[in-house]
Chain A
Amino acid sequence: MNDHPEDAASGRRHFLKCMAWAGTGTLWLMKGGVLQARTLDRGAVGDPDASFSFVQISDSHIGFHKAPNMDVVGSLRASLALVDAQPRRPDFLIHTGDLTHLSRADEFDTLAGVMGEGRARQVFYVPGEHDVIGDNGAEFFRRFGQRQQPGGWYSFDHRGVHFVGLVNVLGLRAGGLGYLGAEQLAWLKKDLAPLSAETPVVVFAHMPLWPLYPQWGWGTDDSAQAMAYLRRFGSVSVLNGHIHQIQQKIEGTITFHTARSTAYPQPPPGVGPGPGPLKDVPPGRLHSYIGVREVRHVQGRQMLAITEEALP
């Protein structure tokens, strides 16, 4: 899976180095119905074989103003500049949630303003738990919702690929993880029903849709039911945010990916007391780590990548 074979020691060092950068997104190339990931990089080159591409950005946390990133607006702008610098223009962007830090109106204003700067771009959003504080997401959905379903989830088709945006940050229960709920699951089942098994499917939501590290809340209580509906498809890509780092897992024809944050990194699963910001990034180095590594290409039925990424 990894394009850059590494021994264990340098692998850990490299891994931590990769954790210690922020301010970019992931370019997704659709090739023959299979998604391939590239981190956005200044030296990125186009891929003539890809049928289309889109970009995932995540966890902008507008309103955060502490170490290691005092300028989350600037790092979001830097991410969008990298998107605009791609030789082939991505068809659209997906933002996988935590647009804001505290769901405040001025934070939403800032996010919307920055996303609207420069090139016109189409963006599909799903909320993170930081976007729905106090009002169950009313303000988020008013500004960024697709208005297909009362619960805020939606789907669309793009060049033969079926995209599904799910909401797993509402109706959370004490002691629980992310939550989809019976109503959304019933909708998902119905939404997928008419599709042929050959249709590539991309599902995106904020919290990981697999039990990545439940001790830190990194999972979704009822994700298994959603996966049961997706298992019959030949190519399913699940894109999540929330954990501010790249983790991947492959289960049969379903590949799971989490994205980096445009704001700040978080520690690897279980390292340290909790999933707060990773603060010990050397001063002035945060942005210099942008695009430090190209993400491995993800192709079909391969072994779990997450075992390589877990710390020894």
Chain B
Amino acid sequence: MRRRWPLLGALAIAMAVSGFLPLHAAGAAATVKVQIRNFAFSPKVLNVRAGTRVAWSNLDEEPHTVTSAGALFRSSAALDTGDGYAVTFSRPGTYAYYCSIHPMMVGTVVVK
């Protein structure tokens, strides 16, 4: 039995890397950061694996929001300077979002 644990571990890592493991089995989800700065989301287009936690932080003097186009994920409240907001994307898809205060600010999270 003792010798089989490393094998299971290796299998789990392989499954996590290939994206087959459900979120809870992969342990803590990876977090990818998006900065809100100078009235723009950076990076504007973010490619992540399913299960990734995307964390926005507002570095502007102006408040902003992270608002899902089409309400595909839960939108944020107003984010004042220094405020953050995070969403874990468990399903593959293309998630467009914008700032409801400054709608010319747009971004996309592509989940694979």
Q: Which residues of A contact B (CB under 8 A)?
A: 66, 101-103, 129-130, 133-134, 172-177, 214-217, 273-277, 279
User: In this assembly, does B110 line the interface, its C-beta being within 8 Å of a C-beta of chain A?
Assistant: no
Known: A130-B101, A174-B103, A277-B61; 12 extra A-B contacts, CB below 8 A, are A102-B63, A129-B100, A133-B63, A133-B65, A134-B77, A174-B69, A175-B98, A176-B103, A176-B104, A214-B104, A274-B60, A274-B62
User: In this assembly, does B31 line the interface, its C-beta being within 8 Å of a C-beta of chain A?
Assistant: no
Contact B78 A133 (CB under 8 A): yes
Interface of B is mostly: loop
Q: Could you give, for residues 73-86 of chain B, a 1 whenever the CB lies within 8 Å of some chain A CB and a 0 otherwise?
A: 00001101100000
Chain B residue numbers with a CB within 8 Å of A175 are 98, 103-104, 106
Chain B residue numbers with a CB within 8 Å of A216 are 39, 104
User: In this assembly, does B33 line the interface, its C-beta being within 8 Å of a C-beta of chain A?
Assistant: no
User: In this assembly, does B102 line the interface, its C-beta being within 8 Å of a C-beta of chain A?
Assistant: yes
Closest to B62 in A: A276
Contact B98 A133 (CB under 8 A): no
Pick from A102, A103, A217: contact of B103, CB below 8 A. Answer: A217
Interface of A is mostly: loop
Which residues, 45 to 81 on B, are CB-close (under 8 Å) to A?
Answer: 60-63, 65, 67, 69, 77-78, 80-81
Pick from B39, B60, B63, B77: contact of A130, CB below 8 A. Answer: B63
Chain B residue numbers with a CB within 8 Å of A134 are 77-78
Q: Which residues of B contact A (CB under 8 A)?
A: 38-40, 60-63, 65, 67, 69, 77-78, 80-81, 96-98, 100-104, 106
Contact A217 B104 (CB under 8 A): yes
Pick from A66, A103, A275: contact of B39, CB below 8 A. Answer: A275
A181 to B80, CA, bound (A): 29
Closest to B108 in A: A174
A177 with B61: in contact, given A103-B78, A133-B78, A134-B78 (CB under 8 Å)?
Answer: no
Chain A residue numbers with a CB within 8 Å of B106 are 174-175
Chain B residue numbers with a CB within 8 Å of A102 are 63, 78, 80
Chain B residue numbers with a CB within 8 Å of A215 are 104
**Which of B96, B97, B101, B102 counts the most A-chain CB atoms under 10 A from its CB?**
B101
Chain A residue numbers with a CB within 8 Å of B39 are 216, 273-276
A277 to B81, CA, bound (A): 13
Closest to A217 in B: B104
Closest to B98 in A: A174
Chain B residue numbers with a CB within 8 Å of A173 are 69, 98, 103
